[in-house]
């Protein structure tokens, strides 16, 4: 979260309430992890006096077109959100701001007041979003590296089928690859595969033409429906697996048991009775859940152990260049977050969407600390041994 429908809902809210209005005040957070490659003061100066002309989106990225460049762009990451004071912008799981909270929120990274008094804020509780100031957002990474937008630039069924025939990767991982299709995240991928009755680990190239056509149809229908209701999950059809997948505990959807596995580096909900591996791949994948269980010896839940994040790896510029970081081997549990970061957490949320990258970073940091402590102790011990007086004969 958020995925294409949530970001599109934010874009539409900006388009409906902010176009043609001038920015008379700007407050940019002094947070270099989120505010990318520009100082807060320079960012604020570049916005003041500008008029918002239009709002654009590709995949899970949004940018505002002003009457002159540069333009602010927002890569929503895991918990980025747009709020407009007094306007009912759709909230989604792990939304950081409640109606009773302070305004602007303590999590606000980008705040503007318009000439009619309207106020807009971009918040990011988890700090995995990126807010940039760019001359042409669509021409540079990450937007320039995205595949076709799942809503605005859908492949034809023939193009989709042909492209899948050339991909040997598991279908869930492929759907999460933002360079293949932009905008599909973890919940949408789970939903469309459930509705298409396709196993998340089914090799893309091994899918029949009928399965490809069904999946193409489900992607179109799920995304269009979610966008039509402004990503308001309370209006999603009751038979969607969306409503039953968040707590990662044994449950049922439409009377069928839900199970959870790792697919594409993400915790994945599926219904084994309906979504079965087909062809020669079946025997190989049968042991996959047992492999996943063996990895949990270090303790923790699904998301603690599943460190890779295919979806974020594809769109984050620095990770595109460097590739995935190695897993840490430390046995220590992840460091406890400050109380501010635990505000508004809901036990039923999909933690893999919000916490995976943070867990990965914490484990790596913990491993480094453990190694440093071990080296320090060894050095001290060696020094003390060298200074010990020899016993007289």
**Cα-flanking dihedrals φ and ψ of residue 182, to 5°?**
-95, 130
Between CA 387 and CA 393 the distance in angstroms is: 18
Q: Which residue has the tokens 């509780």?
A: 125
Residue 306 burial (CB count, 10 A): 25
**Residue 138 near residue 144 (C-beta atoms within 8 A):** yes
Between CA 146 and CA 317 the distance in angstroms is: 11
- Listed in sequence order, the residues at least 6 apart from 142 whose beta carbon sits closer than 8 Å to its beta carbon are 61, 75, 178, 315, 316, 317, 320
Q: Is 191 annotated as catalytic?
A: no
Burial of 318 (0-12, 13-18, 19+ CB in 10 A): exposed
For 17, the enclosing helix (H) or strand (E) is: helix 4-17
Calculate helix-pair angle for 209-228, 186-196, nearest 10 degrees: 130
Instruction: Order the strands of the 251-253 sheet from edge to edge.
Output: 251-253, 256-263, 266-270
Q: Is 172 annotated as catalytic?
A: no
Out of 50, 58, 60, 109, which one is annotated catalytic? Answer: 60
Out of 3, 8, 191, 316, which one is annotated catalytic? Answer: 3
Q: Is 60 annotated as catalytic?
A: yes
Out of 2, 5, 142, 200, which one is annotated catalytic? Answer: 2
- Listed in sequence order, the residues at least 6 apart from 192 whose beta carbon sits closer than 8 Å to its beta carbon are 175, 184, 215, 218, 219, 222
Q: Which residues participate in catalysis according to the annotation?
A: 2-3, 60
């Amino acid at each position: 979260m958020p995925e294409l429908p949530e970001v599109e809902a934010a874009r539409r809210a900006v388009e409906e309430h902010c176009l043609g209005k001038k920015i008379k005040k700007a407050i940019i957070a002094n947070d270099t992890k989120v505010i990318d490659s520009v100082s807060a003061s320079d960012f604020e100066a570049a916005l003041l006096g500008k008029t918002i002309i239009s709002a654009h989106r590709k995949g899970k990225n949004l940018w505002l077109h002003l009457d002159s460049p540069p333009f602010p762009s927002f890569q929503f990451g895991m918990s980025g959100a747009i709020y407009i004071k007094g306007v009912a912008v759709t909230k989604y799981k792990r939304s950081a701001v409640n109606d009773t909270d302070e305004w602007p929120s303590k999590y606000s990274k980008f705040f503007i007041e318009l000439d009619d008094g309207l106020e807009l804020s971009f918040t990011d509780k988890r700090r995995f979003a990126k807010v940039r100031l760019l001359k042409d957002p669509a021409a540079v990474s990450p937007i320039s590296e995205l595949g076709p937008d799942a809503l605005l630039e859908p492949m034809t069924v023939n193009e989709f089928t042909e492209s899948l025939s050339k991909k040997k990767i598991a279908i869930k991982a492929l759907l999460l690859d933002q360079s293949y299709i932009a905008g599909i995240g973890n919940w949408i991928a789970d939903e469309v595969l459930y509705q298409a009755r396709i196993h998340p680990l089914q090799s893309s190239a091994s899918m029949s033409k009928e399965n490809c056509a069904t999946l193409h149809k489900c992607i179109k229908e799920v995304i269009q429906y979610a966008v039509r209701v402004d990503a308001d999950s309370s209006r999603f059809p009751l038979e969607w697996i969306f409503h039953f997948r968040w707590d990662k505990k044994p449950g049922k959807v439409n009377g069928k048991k839900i199970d959870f596995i790792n697919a594409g580096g993400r915790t994945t909900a599926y219904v084994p009775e309906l979504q079965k591996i087909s062809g020669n791949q079946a025997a190989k994948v049968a042991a996959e859940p047992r492999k996943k269980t063996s990895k949990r010896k270090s303790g923790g839940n699904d998301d603690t152990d599943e460190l890779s994040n295919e979806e974020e790896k594809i769109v984050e510029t620095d990770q595109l260049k460097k590739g995935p970081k190695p897993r840490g081997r430390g046995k220590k549990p992840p460091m406890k977050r400050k109380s501010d970061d635990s505000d508004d957490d809901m036990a039923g949320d999909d933690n893999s969407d919000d916490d995976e990258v943070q867990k990965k970073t914490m484990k790596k940091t913990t491993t480094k600390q453990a190694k440093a402590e071990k080296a320090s102790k060894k050095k001290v011990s060696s020094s003390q041994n060298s200074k010990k007086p020899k016993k007289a004969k």
